[in-house]
Amino acid sequence: MADTPKKDKAEEPKIDIPAEDVKKAAALILKPGYVTKHDLPKMVELPWATALADAVTQHFLNDDDDHDPYVYFEQFDYAGGDIDSIIFNMDVIPTREKALEILGHEVGEKLVTPPDHVESFKG
């Protein structure tokens, strides 16, 4: 008798995002163009923030015929090792770098700055 194959990964529990949170996030994606943990505090939890980004994307695909924003989800590292999440509209905030700056300002984090002088090495 053969062994039953085991799943490599345990299935993640489905996270239900309340409709009012999706509606609030969708409105913020349109103006000012982003959502952070200051808008929806549960975004501090990566699985919840990821599920929210998916729900907002689905909202615009299925429930909002008037808008088609380029919704993007990103996590950024800041000085001191803190990591924060942002969902942003690339039609409003055109680069990841700008989203990094906005999120840092919103959550009071300092950006990681490269050293003034970086030596190049030849192999």
pLDDT given at position 123: 47
pTM, two decimal places? 0.79
- Reading phi first (left if > 0) and then psi (alpha if -120 to 50, else beta), residue 33 is in left
All residues at 6 or more sequence positions from 111 whose CB lies less than 8 Å from its CB, including other chains? 78, 79, 100, 101, 104
For residue 74, how many other CB atoms are within 10 A of its CB?
A: 14
* Residue 4: pLDDT over 60: no
- Which pLDDT band, with edges at 50, 70 and 90, does 14 fall under? confident
* Residue 69: pLDDT over 80: yes
* Residue 118: pLDDT over 90: no
Q: At residue 95, what is the residue type?
A: T
- Which pLDDT band, with edges at 50, 70 and 90, does 121 fall under? very low
pLDDT given at position 9: 52
Mean pLDDT along residues 24-53: 96
Residues above pLDDT 70, as percent of the chain: 81
